[in-house]
Structure 1
Amino acid sequence: MEPDMPFTRFRFHIVFATKGRAKWIDAEIEEFLYPVLISSAARNDGKIITLGGVEDHVHLIAAIKPKVAPSHFIDRTKSESSGAIRRNFRRRRNFKWQVGFGAFTLSALDYQDAVRYVEKQKEHHRRGITWSVFEEIMEEGFEEAA
């Protein structure tokens, strides 16, 4: 590595929901959506490490290059993915994500637990084992935090 080259290891747990928490992400949409999210992230200077979700929201563990603001990365990824769904699925012409999102940095200690949590979203929701504080915030909608 060159001396003036930055080294970072920024990992984020990102969550965003469908507008109005509509249950639009069925198996067919999910099969299409996840590769679109991965491609969009790569185009926007990031990499999705893992993702998971249920009918009304998705969780991502992502690495984002330090030159990119997380909000820009998330906004672009959401915009590109919702547009792709609207173009490819007539019955989802009104598909939109909520305006807000949640983004949490992960330490080396949090990382593996967060990955497991994201990978098992369907199981967690089926069993009612979710990150309760965060899920409640998602129900109310995200507000800009300082």
Structure 2
Amino acid sequence: MPNTYTQIYIQLVFAVKGRQIKIPSFNREEIEKYICGIFNNKEQKVLAIYANPDHIHIFFSYKNLRISLPELVKVVKTESTKFINEKKLSSGTFFWQEGYGAFSYSKSQKDAVVKYVLNQEEHHQRKSFKEEYMAFLEAFEIEFKDQYLFDFYEQ
């Protein structure tokens, strides 16, 4: 009996609720490792991850299609929120904002996207999260309504 074979590269982007600065740099790696573990447990492979103080980028290989992308994001947000709050890795109560962006890439783009995700600190010295996210929507020709975007607050 034939198998199903897939290779899909996706960059997820989602924000901290209220775009608050809730991911301190000294806890960033612990949060990233935990999130990578969630992906691994769901038979997905994270290629690059970077938790900014107010949003996160996760570039992964989506192989296990038995879990839908919305279900995977829900599990990641729910489990990581619980972990961050139980371990007190953020000041006050931590929540992710509703919604996310998911952008697909070809194999030939993989190395460039890994580099982009890992270079977030430098990248955001030149461009705000709002500018970055709007550029994604434009580049991927995604129609949207402003009222359904992340809450963007000037920091």
Q: TM-score, normalised by structure 2?
A: 0.79
The alignment's C-alpha RMSD in Å is: 2.6
Within 5 Å, give how 1:33-48 maps onto structure 2. 33-48=31-46
Q: Where does residue 74 of structure 2 map in the other structure?
A: 75
Structure 1, gaps ≥5 residues long: none
Q: Where does residue 85 of structure 1 map in the other structure?
A: 84
Q: Where does residue 59 of structure 2 map in the other structure?
A: 61
Over the matched positions of the two proteins, sequence identity in percent amounts to: 24
Q: How many residues align?
A: 140
What is the distance in 2 between the residues matched to 1:63 and 1:90?
27
Cα contact 1:44–1:76 (8 A) shared by 2: no
Within 5 Å, give how 1:105-116 maps onto structure 2. 105-116=104-115
Structure 2, gaps ≥5 residues long: 138-145
Within 5 Å, give how 1:1-146 maps onto structure 2. 4-64=2-62, 65-89=64-88, 92-128=91-127, 132=131, 134-135=133-134, 140-141=149-150
CA 1:26–1:45 in structure 2 vs 1: closer, same or farther (change >3 Å)? same
CA 1:130–1:19 in structure 2 vs 1: closer, same or farther (change >3 Å)? closer
Q: Deviations over 1:4-43 (max 9, x none)?
A: 1111101100011100000011122212201110111112
CA 1:50–1:91 in structure 2 vs 1: closer, same or farther (change >3 Å)? closer
What is the distance in 2 between the residues matched to 1:68 and 1:37?
16
More helix by share: 1
What is the distance in 1 between the residues matched to 2:94 and 2:131?
26
Q: Deviations over 1:66-112 (max 9, x none)?
A: 22211111110111111000000175451000111111111123322
Cα contact 2:10–2:102 (8 A) shared by 1: yes
Q: TM-score, normalised by structure 1?
A: 0.83
